[in-house]
Chain A
């Protein structure tokens, strides 16, 4: 049981990188960016190809991040320069990336079994594989939000946040909001691709179908995090997203553990996210009744 808890939390930590990326577009810029369903497997594909050619895991992960940023730039340019609605721009990039990912991998599935990955490079620590995943997850789930927090404190970071909150005002102050949207999408997709690289290595393969459903996983993590752990200040939401990602994994693990009929699993996920999304409304009603 303890071991299962460790592996579940480890999964939550790894996936939190993707959720943090989604938080940036969904909550900061108020865009639901569907290109992540393509940039997630893109990260996995790039990492798998490089690892198979005996490059170091660090190089593979950085390259994955760079490729993801490129994908984000495509969505950003479609949206800001060609004025395509954000939702549609994301879908277009997602579709395009399907072919790109197949090109990169050369086939639909690349196996990483018995290939040196970021996890096997830590075997000298003499820990169980689950503990290694946990450790790697912990490091990136702390490092990436901290970096993002520092970035939010810079002038550009503040402009980026303000772009989502009040575009008119920030434009009046002479900030190019299009550039900020572009930057946000670049960083976000870079993070999502990095998550894809870590998860492909953990799974033991990169598959062109691994992106299916990532947007739901990411949004569920963001929203569950907000509902359970709050979202005030700048630092708090980032922590909430990471905790939300862990909570989501625990719920899924518990549901699978209790033997829910597999055909109902997607329905359950949808209900869970719907409940989480409507929680703020219920809380408001509850609060006003108490006061009244």
Chain B
């Protein structure tokens, strides 16, 4: 009897799973029928995790497409997916896109792009929130990708932040680098920063964190040792910028950052890239690919041309920084 009942449970479970897949199958067919009628392009969006900068890229992408006449729900269907930081979900989602034969995949953040690039060599892939496409082996070169991957980079040369810092803190001798050790993008920026700092005769002290809970201590460890702190565009630090400010502002240590939102949340100043604009640009590139105007192989990795100096007046005042006239004019 017991065995029989167990078998029933198994049968029910299998039936449930099959029913779910069948339901999913129906949805799929409908979508395809629509595609044939009105030439509706289907774009899959794969985002690594819910996060300010990545959300901005995503929003910019959708708006960029709309600006070129590809309106979601009308002549284009955008399938939004988010792996919620679980890298095994990235695989499942990217397989789904490839199996559904979407027309293009928009990948936000490096692991997302790598996983889809490994899954398909034919479907065009546009990326965003990726610092170095070449190091991630997504393209042959950033000028001429050569494959099915292109996109925009949020690479923000650290030289800019250091130059700005030296204008505001001319007597600086030591710089602290505060970043997340698990973020490739942050690592690459800090590496470039160290090279440039050496050129300028600055000593670099690094403090790395693994998650938001380490930030307070890491920032604390730099106090008294450094003249200013540099933060790259780093997801973890960005999300806890207020926490950093709580320590650095009373200690009168300016923090120079590469992302606008980080200045708003307590950073002192920065020369910023804008993730929304970079997403927008990626949306425009996507429109060019969908309309057949260009191929990913020939499209250089886009970067933000005009960057802005942003100064957090309140923080600067609290730290006691005097801001030169010319910078004031340039800044926002």
Contacts and interface: CB of A to CB of B under 8 A. Distances in A.
B184 A209 contact: no
Given A1-B21, A210-B87, A256 B81 contact: yes
A33 to B, nearest CB: 19
Interface residues of B, number: 49
B189 to A, nearest CB: 12
A113 B137 CA distance: 6
B95 to A, nearest CB: 4
Contacts of B136: 109, 111, 113, 205
B20 A254 contact: yes
B303 interface: no
Contacts of A283: 9
Contacts of B23: 258
B143 interface: no
A249 interface: yes
Interface residues of A, number: 52
Given A4-B95, A8-B95, A204-B117, A109 B9 contact: no
Interface string B91-108: 111011001000000000
Chain A residues touching B, majority SS: helix
Given A1-B25, A8-B92, A258-B24, A250 B187 contact: no
Contact of A108 (B9, B21, B182): B182
A163 interface: no
Contacts of A115: 137
Contact of A11 (B13, B91, B187, B210): B91
B25 A265 contact: no
B88 interface: yes
Closest 4 CB pairs of A and B: A204-B118, A262-B82, A111-B137, A257-B24
Given A111-B138, A258-B20, 17 more contacts: A1-B28, A4-B99, A7-B95, A8-B92, A11-B88, A107-B187, A109-B114, A113-B136, A115-B137, A204-B117, A204-B118, A205-B111, A207-B111, A209-B111, A212-B86, A252-B89, A254-B20
